Chain A
Amino acid sequence: MSREVVDADDERAEGNPTADMQAVRPVPFRGGGFTHGRRLGPVAPLVFLSVLVLWEAGSRSGIISPVALPAPSEALGALADLVTTGMLWKHFGASLYRLAIGWTLGSLLGIAVGLLIGLFSLARAGLLPLVSALFPIPKIALLPLFIIWFGIGEGSKVATILFGTFFPTVIATYGGVDNVDRNLIRMGQSFGLSWLSIVRKIIVPGAMPAILSGFRISASIAIVLLVAAEMIGAEHGIGAYILMAGALFATDQLIAGVALLSALGLTIGWLIGRAERALLSWRT
C-alpha cells in the first residue's frame, strides 16, 4: 500500500530512490519443480484402468480390429479357460519350477565365484577374463548345446537360466566387493579380526547392496531366457503356451500368457524390493 503512495507521487519517487526500496514485498518462491514429493498413490491404478477401458471400448466399437488385437475381455476369458481346465497351474507351475531352480543355482554360484574374484588375486587373474568373454554371449544361442548335454527335458532349460543369471551375478558381486570401504577392512585388520570374520561381517554385508541390485537384473534376464527356452522345446510352460497360441493365431490366449509373464515379473520385483528393505534397512 505504501507503494501506491510512492507511485502516485512520481517526482518524489525518482528524487528519492530509497522510497521504492522501503516497500516491503515477499521474496518470490522459485525452488519448485524437479522433485517427487507429492503422494500420488491412486494415479497408477487409474492409468492402468483407463488404458484397459479405452482398449475394450476400441475393440467393441470396431476401431481396433479383433484380428490385430483381441479385447481385454477376451484375453480375460482365455485366462478363465486356463483356470477352469486346470492348465494354468500346469503351465505356470512348470515355468516357476524352472525359474526357481535355475535362478537360485545361478545366483548362488554367481555369488560364490564373484566373491572368489573379489577376494583372491589368482581367481581374478584366472576367472575374470573367462567371465568377460562368456558374459556377452546370448545364452539362448547355447540352448542346442545344452539340449545335447543335459537332455531335452528340464535340464537344458534350467541350465540356460542358470548360465544367464550366473554371469550378471558374478559381475555384480565382485563389483560390490571392490566397492566395500577399504577403511572398514583396515579397521577389521587393526582390531585383529580373522580373515573369515572380515569377509563375513564386513565384506559380504558391504557388497550386499550391489548383489541385490544384480538380482534385479538377473531376474529379468531369467524371465526372458525362460520364455525363449520354453518356446524352443517344451510341452508345458508359459513360453510354450504363448508359442502355441501364436501358432494358432489365438491372440486372446497370447495376450493372456503375456499378462501372466508381466505379473510374474512384477511379483519378483516386489519380492526383491522386500528383500532390499529387510537386508538394507541400515541405509537411509
Chain B
Amino acid sequence: MQLILTGIRHCYGGTSVVDDISFTVGDGEIVCIVGPSGCGKSTLLRIAGGLERPDAGEVLVAGQPADGSLNPLTYIFQDFALLPWRTVEGNVSLVLEDHAVGREDRRAIVKDVLARTNLSEFARALPRQLSGGMKQRVAIARALAVKPAIMLMDEPLSALDSQTRELLMDDLVALWQRERFSACYVTHNLNEAVRLGRRIIVLSRRPGRIREVVEIDMPLAQRPQRLAELEKLQRRVWEIMREEAREADREISDVA
C-alpha cells in the first residue's frame, strides 16, 4: 500500500506550520522526515494518519492492504502511549478488542507478537515496571498486532538513551527485513534517518517546506558495515539543515 500526500498546508491559529508538502511513501519503503524543531514534522505525521485535518491538500492511499490488516495506518508514538493500568498483554489486546477477532484468536495474536518482540516473559508486567526501551517494544508489539500496512512513527526512539536506541534500531531493521512494512519515520536524529531511511525528506524551519530529498540506495542490512559512507551522508544532510536549525533555534528564543 502506498501513502500519498499532496499539497499539505496547515496553520495553527494564524501561524503556518507546514506549507505545500507533497511526497509518497512507496510499498515497503521507509521514508524519514527530518527538520529543525518546531518545523511541523509531528503535525505532518498526524495529518498523514488522519488524526488531524489539513487546511489544504489531500492524504490518499493507493492499493489494498494485505489480507487481515486490521488497521492499515498504525502509529508508534514518542511517549509510547501505553495505558498504565493495563499489563503488557492488556495493552496489546486493547487494540484488538474492537475488531471482529475471536477470544482465542486474540490470545493467539497477542502471544505471537509478544514472542516476535521478545516480550513473552513480561506479558503480565505493568508499564511502570518496564524500562523505556521495553515500553517502546510493547508499543511496537501493539502496532504489529493489527498488521499495519504503513507504520507512522513519531520520533519512536527519541525518549530512549543512546544504547537502548541502538538496540531498538537493530530490532527495527530486523523487523523490516522480515515484514517489509512501509513507514513514515519522523525524527530529529540524523543518524537514525541515514540508518533506516530509503529516502530522507529534509524540511525547512517553520513553516515547514521540503528543502531537499536525499535518496539512499544502500540496503538496510549492509548499513552497519558501511558506516563511513553513512557518516558522509549524514554530514550532507546536516549541511542542508544547519542554517535552518540555527534560525529555528533563534526563532524560538525570540518568541519566548
Contact = CB atoms under 8 A, between A and B. Distances in A.
Interface stretch (B92-100, B157-165, B225-233): B92-100
A283 B85 CA distance: 8
A205 B83 contact: yes
Contact of A282 (B84, B98, B146): B84
A284 to B, nearest CB: 6
Interface string A85-99: 000000000000000
A186 B51 contact: yes
A194 B98 contact: yes
Contacts of B46: 186
Contacts of A191: 71, 74-75, 94-95, 98, 142, 146
B11 interface: no
Nearest to A181: B81
B128 interface: yes
A179 interface: no
A206 to B, nearest CB: 8
Nearest to B152: A190
Nearest to A184: B81
A208 B95 CA distance: 21
A190 B98 contact: no
B58 interface: no
B131 to A, nearest CB: 15
A192 B98 contact: yes
Interface string A184-223: 1011011111100100011001000000000000000000
Interface in B135-155: 142, 146
Contacts of A205: 83, 85
Interface string A236-270: 00000000000000000000000000000000000
A197 B98 contact: yes
Given A184-B81, A205-B83, A282-B126, A192 B94 contact: no
A190 B84 contact: no
Contact of A192 (B71, B81, B86): B71
Contacts of B97: 193, 197, 201
A183 interface: yes
Interface string B48-73: 01010000000000000000001101
Q: Is the interface of B mostly helix, strand, loop or mixed?
A: loop
8 contacts: A183-B77, A187-B75, A190-B71, A191-B95, A197-B98, A201-B83, A205-B85, A282-B86
Interface residues of B, number: 24
Contacts of B73: 190
B84 A283 contact: yes
Contacts of B112: none
B227 to A, nearest CB: 34
Contacts of B95: 191, 193
A184 B74 contact: no
B27 interface: no
A283 B79 CA distance: 17
Interface string B120-135: 0000001010000000
Contact of B51 (A190, A197, A284): A190
Interface string B84-121: 11100000001101110000000000000000000000
A192 B96 CA distance: 10
Contacts of A181: 81
Contacts of A282: 84-86, 126, 128
Contacts of A197: 97-98
Contacts of B81: 181, 183-184, 186-187
Given A183-B79, A201-B83, A189 B71 contact: no
Given A190-B49, A190-B74, 20 more contacts: A183-B77, A184-B81, A187-B75, A187-B77, A190-B73, A190-B75, A191-B71, A191-B94, A191-B142, A192-B71, A197-B98, A201-B83, A201-B94, A205-B83, A282-B84, A282-B85, A282-B86, A282-B126, A283-B84, A283-B128
Contact of A202 (B51, B70, B79, B83): B83
B158 to A, nearest CB: 14
Interface string B9-32: 000000000000000000000000
Contacts of B128: 282-284
A183 B46 CA distance: 12
A168 to B, nearest CB: 24
A138 to B, nearest CB: 37
A284 B130 CA distance: 12
Contacts of B77: 183, 187
A199 B147 CA distance: 24
Contacts of A187: 75, 77, 81
Nearest to B73: A190
B82 to A, nearest CB: 8
